[in-house]
Amino acid sequence: AQSVTQLGSHVSVSEGALVLLRCNYSSSVPPYLFWYVQYPNQGLQLLLKYTSAATLVKGINGFEAEFKKSETSFHLTKPSAHMSDAAEYFCAVTTSGTYKYIFGTGTRLKVLA
Amino acid sequence: NAGVMQNPRHLVRRRGQEARLRCSPMKGHSHVYWYRQLPEEGLKFMVYLQKENIIDESGMPKERFSAEFPKEGPSILRIQQVVRGDSAAYFCASSRGMDGEAFFGQGTRLTVV
């Protein structure tokens, strides 16, 4: 069975500071990992995905994530937070040949001026 | 190429009424998935459909919920005799193949009063 754990349901950072959102996964087979962003009353927008190619994945809006198998982690980072980054972020896992995405409970990012 | 279209965006129903949620997949996509997001939770898989077939409904509540994806027209998620606990955001996703990347719609926010 697969699972995803997002540490910290709420994270606050100052504008210009580093953003670090944590995601740990559990999977008995090689995983595909995703980060989605959800703005208030909007749908999910894909930020980036890992599908067994490069372990450092670059996404949109300056975000990136690194797949670390030894730590079963896929943390999301951005060097400098912008006010427009305030949103909820979801980590999700699936595997090749399956269709169910298993989502974490989300992390709400607040950016302070 | 339009994305996944869901309507209505917001739906208010009184207890005991029926709710019908529609999802038009992206062009060329024949696989549709429905997810539910309860307040303060991540998305949970409900059902996976291909044209005219339900492939996996393991995440659907046993009663009152049904889904279809007819040969022509959108996929429909139907909730009969709604209760307050059905209040949630319902997201539809589509993909080209079973393990293709899923693209999410903006969701339908159902409020049961």
Predicted confidence (pLDDT) per residue in A44-101, tens digit: 889 999 988 789 999 999 999 999 999 999 999 999 999 999 999 999 998 877 778 8
Q: What are the chain B neighbours of A4 within 8 Å (beta carbons)?
A: 42
Q: How confident is the model at residue A42 (pLDDT cuts 50, 70, 90)?
A: confident
Q: Do A44 and B104 touch (CB under 8 A)?
A: yes
Q: State the sign of the Cα–Cα–Cα–Cα dihedral B64, B12, A36, A103.
A: negative
- If you average pLDDT over residues B76-100, what whole number do you get? 92
pLDDT at site A109: 97
* Number of Cβ within a 10 Å radius of residue A79: 11
CB < 8 Å from A in window 77-96 of B: 91, 93, 95
Backbone dihedral angles phi then psi of residue B84, each to the nearest 5 degrees? -55, -35
What is the per-residue pLDDT for B39? 83
Cα-trace Rg, chain A:
13
How many contacts (CB atoms, under 8 Å) link A and B?
58
Say whether B101 and A99 touch across the interface (CB within 8 A): no
Query: Which residue type occupies B59?
Result: G
Q: Do A43 and B56 touch (CB under 8 A)?
A: no
Q: How confident is the model at residue B26 (pLDDT cuts 50, 70, 90)?
A: very high
pLDDT digits (tens, 9 = 90+) for A1-34: 789 999 999 999 999 999 999 999 998 888 999 9
Among B33, B98, B99, B109, the strongest candidate for a mutation testing the A interface, having the largest count of A CBs within 10 A, is B99
CB distance A21 to A13 below 8 Å: no
3-state helix, strand, coil in chain A (%, to 5): 5, 55, 40
Partners of B101 on chain A (C-beta within 8 Å) are 46, 49
How confident is the model at residue B99, as a pLDDT? Answer: 67
pLDDT tens column, B39-56 = 878 899 999 999 889 999
Which residues from chain A sit within 8 angstroms of residue B105, using beta carbons?
Answer: 43
